[in-house]
Structure 1
Amino acid sequence: MSNPREEFLAGDRLEDVALFLAESYVSDDRLERFGDRVDDGIVIVVDGERGRSAFQAATGTGAMEFAKSAMSNEGEIAADLAGGQCPDAADDEEHAVQFVFAFAEDQNEEVGGIYADGAVVHAYAQCTCGTAFSDRWNVTDETDR
């Protein structure tokens, strides 16, 4: 595996963070040098400290503060980190993910739950409607999502 995003999603880059920035949110072609182009934006995987700084520069919000604000509102974030389903979306409304901040945590059998089953991806997203939400999953479940 040589793709940083694939390695991150497989739980092999626990010291790194992943960022998804929608084209509609940040339109800077220079970002393609740092990540993977996806349909609606770019996914960047970088070491934790640089990633948190990049997130703050791109969004104007501290990464951990954003994660705390999104933590209590569960939604569905795409397994590839490039989108999701806002929990506040109604059938007749258009919602789109503006950005995602994610990190992975190693398996921890002492904690139990999904942490006992393998590495866990924690992802936090911001919708165009202003709703911040979170999702988490085992890296082994990625293909099931």
Structure 2
Amino acid sequence: MSDPREEFLAGERPEDVALFLADSYVSDERLEQFGDRVDDGTLIVVDGERGRSAFQAATGTGAMEFAKSAMNLEGIIDDDLTGGQCPEAPGDEDHAVQFVFAFAEEQNEEVGGIYAEGDVIHAYAQCTCGTAFSDRWNASEA
């Protein structure tokens, strides 16, 4: 594999982070220089430090602070990181993902659970309604 996005989603880039920024949230054609154009926005995979800085610049929120706040509510984030379903209004068309911050964690059998089964993708999303939510899954399931 040589596609950073595919490598990230396969759990092969634990030092990197992925950011999805919806067009409805931030419209800046320069973003495409740094990532892949997807249906409703741009998906960027970069090293962790640059990614956290880019996330803060784009959202005005620290990446880890956002992740901690989103961790309290589970939702569904698409395994390609470009959308999801807000747990506050499942199936409501007025709810859409504005941005996603994600990282991969390597398999850790000592922790158990899904961590023993393989690499884990941690994803955190913000809905247009203001709800922050999280999801996680084994990279092998994506």
Unpaired stretches in structure 2, ≥5 consecutive residues: none
Partner amino acid for 2:126?
Q
Q: Displacement of 1:72 after TM fit?
A: 1.1
Structure 1 position 86 matched with structure 2 position 100: no
Say what the alpha-carbon RMSD is for the aligned residues. Answer: 0.9
Unpaired stretches in structure 1, ≥5 consecutive residues: none
The alignment-based identity, stated in percent, is 82
Distance change in 2, residues 1:114/1:90 (3 Å): closer
Distance change in 2, residues 1:107/1:63 (3 Å): same
Distance change in 2, residues 1:15/1:93 (3 Å): same
Distance change in 2, residues 1:33/1:89 (3 Å): same
Runs of 4+ in 1 over 3 A off after TM superposition: 90-93
Q: Displacement of 1:91 after TM fit?
A: 4.5
Partner amino acid for 2:60?
G
Residue 18 of structure 2: SS of its match in structure 1? strand
TM, length-normalised to structure 1 = 0.96
* Residue 49 of structure 2: aligned partner: 49
Q: Displacement of 1:3 after TM fit?
A: 1.0
How far, CA to CA, are the matches of 1:117 and 1:29 in structure 2? 39
* Residue 31 of structure 1: aligned partner: 31
Aligned length, in residue pairs: 142
* Residue 69 of structure 2: aligned partner: 69
